[in-house]
Structure 1
Amino acid sequence: MKKLFVALVACMFAAPSFAQFSSGGFSLDEEHMYWGVRLGLNFAGIGGDIEADKGRTGMTLGGVVGLRVSDSAPVFLESGLYYTERGGKNLKYNNLPLADKGHLNYIEVPALIKYGISTENNIAILPFIGPTFAMGISGSYKYLKHPEMGIKIGCGVEWNNLYAEMAYQIGVTNIADGDKISGAKDLSSHGHALAINIGVNF
């Protein structure tokens, strides 16, 4: 994993400038398409009937593709495929301990709408919002359901081919598995995470 991290960071700083999508150069007369890689951290937690007493810091790694969807405004649709680590530690129900950890490792697909705001010095600001769809592939989630849908809102900044973003993600589907707890019914819990990612666009 350390070698992969070093390789990605090296790519971010060694990649040439790209012509199809350049920050500060959004054209209202041309269509644009871009793709890129993302690497970052999640500061995640779980709240509700089943809650995590402590948060979890996990990794995010993925690839994205974006397409301009408006001829009259710099509006983009971005999707991709991510591996992302979320969940929490010290799961509790009614203040009683359930498990030391509730780790959820997902494969996630977002569908984000981004709006490009050009600024001086070849910098672009890209606020975004959209749904995310995730399926758990590993982890420790005895008391949790691992399919999850959420809403992600945040803002990215691009300079030449380098990109960084911060986002907040809240789960909208119930991930509490009350069937695993004797006498528990109709439980409700939701995941949440603050994400910080860096990357490069081509």
Structure 2
Amino acid sequence: MKKIIIATTMLLFINNIVMAGNDTQPSNIGFALRGGITFAPTDFYGTNINVYPTIGLSADFGISKLPFFIETGVYLTNRYIMTDSNISVLAPALISYHIQTRKNMTIQPFIGPFIAYGFDYEEADVGVRMGVGLSINKLYTNCGYDISASNGYDEDAFFLSIGYKF
């Protein structure tokens, strides 16, 4: 496992050195409109999974000369157990590394905390969001997993989204 981590780290830094002279590096600030689906449990044990639509706005900010970015946003979705109508707002604070693979294509692994609030049951949730995104020109797609840290319930969720970067 240690060898895989070292090899991956070396590849990331080699990628950055090779692309350093390339003028196609992403800008330091970006905004996007995203839509997708969230797979979330609707029972106490997390065995009954429903699919809900998700829509939101995101922003990312470059934080160094290396391609590290902070990403945040506001997403409207449906989450939490025992209901089919708990509209929720979710706001992540993620760090991502943009690995440039081609001229206008990056792979973007991300991880960070999130906070969510369900309006119908007035329930807050916090946890960790992780996943990977793919950006090609102005199109963006990602998939990931939210690990809930609240209430001891199984409120984890898997998500897929596609978006357009401005």
TM range (shorter): 0.7 to 0.9
Asked if residue 56 in structure 1 is aligned to residue 53 in structure 2, the reply is no
Q: Is the 8 A contact 1:55 1:87 kept in 2?
A: no
Amino acid at match of 1:193: A
Question: Once the 2 structures are TM-superposed, how far is the Cα of residue 54 of structure 1 from its aligned partner?
Answer: 1.2
- Cα distance in structure 2, aligned partners of 1:37 and 1:129: 20
Are the aligned partners of 2:37 and 2:53 in contact in 1 as well (CA < 8 Å)? yes
List, as ranges, runs of 4+ consecutive aligned residues in structure 1 with deviation greater than 6 Å. Answer: none
Matched, 1:117 2:99: yes
TM-score, normalisation: structure 1: 0.65
Q: Which residue pairs with 1:133 in the alignment? A: 115
Alignment match of 1:189 (pick from 140, 150, 153): 153
Identity among equivalent pairs (%): 31
Structure with greater strand share of residues: 1
Matched length: 144
Q: Which structure has the bigger radius of gyration?
A: 1
Deviation at 1:170, TM superposition (A): 1.1
| Structure 2 counterparts to residues 11-160 of structure 1, below 5 A | 25-26=24-25, 32-45=28-41, 50-71=44-65, 73-88=66-81, 91=82, 101=83, 103-120=85-102, 122-138=104-120, 141=121, 146-160=123-137
SS of corresponding position for 1:25 = coil
Mind listing any 5+ residue stretches in structure 2 that lack a counterpart? 1-22
Aligned-pair distance for 1:55? Answer: 1.0
Q: Distance in 1 between matches of 2:75 and 2:133?
A: 17
Please say which of residues 153-162 and 31-40 is displaced more in the overlay.
31-40
Distance in 2 between residues matched to 1:190 and 1:55, nearest whole Å = 11
Distance 1:131 1:46, change over 3 A: farther
Contact 1:104 1:146 in 2 (8 A): no
TM-score by length of 2: 0.78
Distance 1:52 1:87, change over 3 A: same
The one of the two structures with greater contact order (alpha-carbon pairs below 8 A, sep at least 6) is 1
Assess if the C-alpha contact under 8 Å between 2:114 and 2:128 holds in 1.
yes
Matches within 5 A, 1:1-16: none
| Mapped partners of 1:169, 1:84: distance in 2 | 13
Q: Tell me, in whole angstroms, the C-alpha distance in 2 between the residues paired with 1:102 and 1:87.
A: 9
8 Å CA contact 2:42–2:50 kept in 1: the answer is: no
| Residue ranges of structure 1 left out of the alignment (5+ in a row) | 1-23, 92-100, 175-187
Please report how far the alpha carbon of residue 85 of structure 1 lies from its aligned counterpart in structure 2 after TM superposition: 1.1
